[in-house]
A and B are shown apart, each in its own frame.
Chain A
């Protein structure tokens, strides 16, 4: 997670950054939960798993199990791997359904070939790019991670890794190592024109190259470039380029109320009067 402009990866290794305080934040900060859940949802969508089939997935950098909970909700089974004891402790306390492992992804994924039907990772892989110890070599660690992941995935499986690349060089380094390990695929970027909402999903395929899905927020741009204007009586629900509802609209009000409910605050029930247009004197 980017915080206050400084990247967490610059503050030290992940097992120290994700201590008890940070772990608590992950489970009590409703905004963090919302973002992590949204990204997990998008990652699982990009996995394109066969419908109505319970699958066995790997969650790399599973942390306190937020993404894992979403996987369970979708009816799949999972194993999570994480380097932070504090985060894993929280996951155990939260009684997540998946099995947990303490491990360093840069040392490899310790599973037999073809174990998993798919893999997701939320906000974790960029940590491999930092050499936290004298002997660490980011390129080697990335290669170790990707080659063992490739082996641990079944034929036809996908890995969808959401990450926060620091710059173009890092992005290049990561994708190069992934390709060297045998993966095909590429980067899917959601909301490429928004600094805040922009999200990178590295979509990797084991076996013949699949069709890379388009990023969100890219199709909307095309529509706006149409030469003719359409007149219709239809009242449009506007969303901004970030995918958020226009401020003060009914959608925005409902989303805000839902957010506050999640924070445990007292919120009035939603009725047909919620967000309706008032008489001008308001």
Chain B
């Protein structure tokens, strides 16, 4: 699971709503894999990111990699900055671990890089 996905993932346990974000990561295995840098894509995705949650997640994995804690203006032209964001969003992957819903405490296991988001019938919204 890449940090890009994690920053958009939100718990869908019944009754949780927007308080189901961000999911807390507990990682037992993290992998860094190279991905081709695409500045257009990174620039387009930055406005969709919850920056604080991204910094927290990267830090918890030990891969903050000089990412600034606050988003500065005019980042579209700053290639060095875009490369750092690219690295954190697309190259850092959680292979094994768990995600925890901040509101309900429900744990979602991650195995082989795939989070298991299946809910029981009681947990699924009516």
Contact = CB atoms under 8 A, between A and B. Distances in A.
A71 B71 CA distance: 30
B100 to A, nearest CB: 14
Interface string A83-127: 100001100100000011111100111111011000000000000
Contacts of B45: 56
Contact of B112 (A54, A89, A109): A89
A148 interface: yes
Nearest to A104: B118
B121 A103 contact: no
B10 A110 contact: yes
B115 A102 contact: yes
Contacts of B44: 53-54, 56
A38 to B, nearest CB: 26
B118 to A, nearest CB: 6
Q: Which interface class (under 10, 10 to 19, 20 to 34, 35 or more) fits B?
A: 20 to 34
B112 A99 contact: no
Given A53-B40, A54-B40, A56-B45, A144 B125 contact: yes
Contacts of A135: 121
Nearest to B5: A99
B12 interface: yes
Interface string B92-126: 00000000000000000000111111110100111
Contacts of B112: 89, 92
Contacts of A103: 116-118
Contacts of A99: 1-2, 4-5, 113
A148 B117 CA distance: 14
Which one of B4, B8, B11, B18 has the highest number of Cβ atoms from chain A below 10 Å of its Cβ? B8
B114 A92 contact: yes
A79 interface: yes
B48 interface: yes
Contacts of A111: 8-10
Interface string B32-47: 0000001011001100
A144 B121 CA distance: 13
B48 A102 contact: no
Contacts of A81: 117
A114 B47 CA distance: 11
Interface of A: 53-54, 56, 77, 79, 81, 83, 88-89, 92, 99-104, 107-112, 114-115, 133, 135, 140, 144, 148
Given A54-B41, A99-B1, A101-B115, 5 more contacts: A108-B12, A108-B125, A109-B12, A112-B18, A112-B21
Closest 4 CB pairs of A and B: A103-B117, A54-B41, A110-B12, A115-B8
